[in-house]
Structure 1
């Protein structure tokens, strides 16, 4: 049974919507602020594997829907949850909203996953903003859990 709880993180990125959308679809860009390896671009109906080499972690990402410059719907993780990426063109640039939902955890486990998702997706958006707006890879994901 999944809960009705969802996590939402958002960030204004001061770049055109096409550039921001591409940053999440195209691993050649995404690897500069999120995961380190991918088996391919996000395309509707495909499953790709994302890898974080510094942590020895990988996950399969099922791409459920892609609406160009508007929406990417995925399902991934263990246990898997839905993660939607919404893109909205606004005067100053592009608002990116990441929503994660469909959690199977309850109680303390649910609170932990909500905390992890909120922090994780906020870090992804911060890294994306720094990379797209300033060309800087802040290495946020790599440094979030440094190994001494």
Structure 2
């Protein structure tokens, strides 16, 4: 049996845990730094669709567990992987740790997936930090792969 591979990205966001947690479950906030559309707020047991209109991409997101201000456990992507969002109160704000696991690839495909997940989730956290701390919408996701 092969070991479980975790892809992890983290960032301290200098805002109260309630504000940071809400930014990840409420699409009215999340669309300012990540996807452009959602069929609804994240709720335990619910499946929502996230859309990145600039790329013509959609993803079904299954919400397996929510512990308010602590954890959001989801499954999404193609092929689907588990993605957990963990929140921890720190002296200067909230630490957000995003863990992706359950990757089914191997070799070069696995390396590519690890790289994509690490870079992608780091970009999400960077955008979230700028938006929540400074009210700046950096358009990082849109500008990561400009169409023209």
Bin for the TM-score computed over the shorter chain: over 0.9
Deviation at residue 6 of structure 1 after TM alignment: 1.0
Give the conservation status (yes or no) of the 8 Å contact 1:38–1:49: yes
1:82-121 equivalence runs, <5 A: 82-121=82-121
| 4+ runs deviating over 2 angstroms | none
Provide Cα deviations, 1:104-131, integer angstroms capped at 9, x if missing partner: 1000000000000000000000000000
Q: Could you tell me the TM-score, scaled by structure 2's length? A: 0.98
Give the conservation status (yes or no) of the 8 Å contact 1:2–1:103: no
CA-atom RMSD, angstroms? 1.1
Name the SS of the counterpart of 1:66 in structure 2.
Answer: strand
Name the SS of the counterpart of 1:104 in structure 2.
Answer: coil
Partner of 2:73: 73
Provide Cα deviations, 1:19-74, integer angstroms capped at 9, x if missing partner: 00000000000000000000000000000000000000000000000000000000
Name the SS of the counterpart of 1:63 in structure 2.
Answer: strand
Question: What is the number of residues matched between the two proteins?
Answer: 148
Q: Could you tell me the TM-score, scaled by structure 1's length? A: 0.98
Matches of 2:60 and 2:92 in 1, distance apart? Answer: 34
